[in-house]
Amino acid sequence: MTSDKIEKKKLAILEVLKNSTSPLSGSKITESLNIAAYDISERTVRLYLQQLDNAGLTKSEGKRGRVITEDGRHEIGSSRILERVGYMSSKIDQMTYQMNFDLSLRSGTVVVNTTLVDREVLLGRIDQIKKVFSMGYAMGYLVGVLKPGEKIEDLTIPEGKVGLCTVCSITLNGVLLKHGIPVRSLFCGLMELYNYKAVRLAEIINYDGTSLDPLELFIRGGRTDYTGAISTGSGYIGIGFREFPAESYDIVVSLAEKLKMIGLGGFMEIGRAGQALFNIPVPEGCIGAVVVGGLNPVAILEENGIRVEAKALAGLLPFNQLIHYEELEGVLRNIK
């Protein structure tokens, strides 16, 4: 058997463990692989598991079976990077369809990003974070807080951390779709501000050409400048660019106003039919729109040298679990 086939089967074992909520025995793993059309024996699975254990990618839980480690999860992502090109576009579509927020009832789930950060660190920068919200550089004015041990999708908040959930701009896609308006998410970029006004797009990354969230890359790469944006009115903030049918312009404008009233306002600029927006060409019969990046508030932390683990499109959170950003400090102080 070639080394390539062996590696694929090892990755398949890691995938099975990754998708399980409890430890799995060798026989259970073999059964799952055979169902997925992998021709592999239980003896071979046990051999591969031993090798994965030695590499630190899996861990034995005794008679309960095996679990995947964090290194194992990382190995899956690294080994399949080419398969994941365009992953962000697919993830956006998936989350757009999954959310079930009802604007008229103000209930249901919205898409959120989740940042893992030390509570004391977050409190130390709370004034700057609140200013990002107050100046309209965030996706609305609502946030969520997850305590240690709480979970969103496959992310569990570890001890000593809190999960700061900021509304993802993909929530806007979901609302428009629920009203019969198809939306194309084209790219994420950095908007240059001068004297508190958006002047031009400085950088862009297309969603369909990346396996990572572009705004995460901009933030980690030190390309943002929210410190300048909130202090002098000149800086660089994250945005997304959307397209939707020109005939839906009036409905989109109306929905944007309603969303703003309930704390989900994220439209920075809505263009006109067939007209370029910030020098980005828009096809005939379409309208372009610039939306504010959902991870914007946490960029302040990175700009101050505080490394955080930010996960875009982390999952769905009930709308009624969100609070006004002005309540954030009090909620954090009450977490023991």
Q: What is the pLDDT of residue 183?
A: 94
Residue 130, pLDDT score:
96
**What are the structure tokens assigned to 329, written together?**
């400090």
Domains assigned to the chain: 3-79 (1.10.10.10), 92-333 (3.30.70.1360)
3-state SS, residue 56: coil
Phi, psi of 278 (to 5 degrees): 50, 45
Alpha-carbon span 291 to 137, nearest angstrom: 10
CA dihedral for 269, 270, 275, 281, sign (positive or negative): positive
d(CA 168, CA 4): 38
Provide the pLDDT for residue 216: 85
Contact criterion met (CB below 8 Å) for 226 and 235: yes
- Alpha-carbon gap, residue 264 to 270, rounded angstroms: 16
Per the CB < 8 A criterion, the answer to whether 267 and 253 are in contact is no
Output the pLDDT for position 81: 46
What residue spans of 40-125 are helical by DSSP H?
A: 42-54, 70-79, 87-98, 119-124
Structure confidence at residue 12 (pLDDT)? 87
Please name the residue that has the structure tokens 């700009």.
303
- pLDDT one digit per residue (tens) for the chain, 336 residues: 455 566 778 888 988 998 888 899 999 999 888 887 788 889 999 999 999 999 999 999 998 999 999 888 877 765 554 444 455 677 788 889 999 999 999 999 999 999 999 999 999 999 999 999 999 999 999 999 999 999 998 888 999 899 999 999 999 999 999 999 999 999 999 999 999 999 999 999 888 766 678 888 888 888 999 999 999 999 999 999 999 999 999 999 999 999 999 999 999 999 999 999 999 999 999 999 999 999 999 999 999 899 888 888 899 999 999 999 999 999 999 987
89 Cβ partners below 8 Å, 6+ apart?
185, 207, 208
